[in-house]
Amino acid sequence: MEVADLLTPGAIRVCNAVKSKKRLFQDLAEIAAAAHEIDESIAVDALQERESLGPTGVGHGVALPHARIDGIDRVRGVFVRLDRPLDYGSVDRAPVDLVFALFAPVDAGVEHLKALALISRTLRDPAVCAKLRANEESDALFGILTETTDTKAA
């Protein structure tokens, strides 16, 4: 599995003035609806339900919200770079500015876990995060995310 299997250029955005986790989840769901034809209201509810189990902010300004969605055929991703860091309730209490959301079929099982591990490894790399923070163009962000997987696999 590679990041390009989860993400399309249309599922990447730089978001301005996101002031709450609720608004962030609405933005993620809107992008998922447009890019992957995932029902927006179901996506918001699923993200909020998962977040109620514990925060998905993994530290160093990165969050990996994820949810299982009935009716989708494979794991899909949405990436957002926030122009202003958001208080997210992360494990290290640092605000978040890089968000990679995953939406998986209800019965995805191991594929969902593989996708989470892949994205976690990718966004644990300080050099990758620095490049993502230095770019505002969706195509550049897509390139950074997808090239990283290729170089790590080599």
Determine the 3-state secondary structure of 115 from DSSP. Answer: helix
Which of 36, 60, 66, 112 is catalytic? The answer is: 66
Give whole-number Cα distances, 117 to 3, 8, 64, 120, 139, in Å.
Answer: 11, 19, 10, 5, 23
User: How many angstroms separate the CA atoms of 78 and 7, rounded?
Assistant: 6
User: How many angstroms separate the CA atoms of 105 and 32, rounded?
Assistant: 14
User: How many angstroms separate the CA atoms of 134 and 6, rounded?
Assistant: 22
The set of residues, in sequence order, having a beta carbon less than 8 Å from that of 144 and lying 6+ positions away, is: 128, 131, 132, 135
Active site residue 36: no
User: How many angstroms separate the CA atoms of 17 and 112, rounded?
Assistant: 30
Catalytic positions: 66
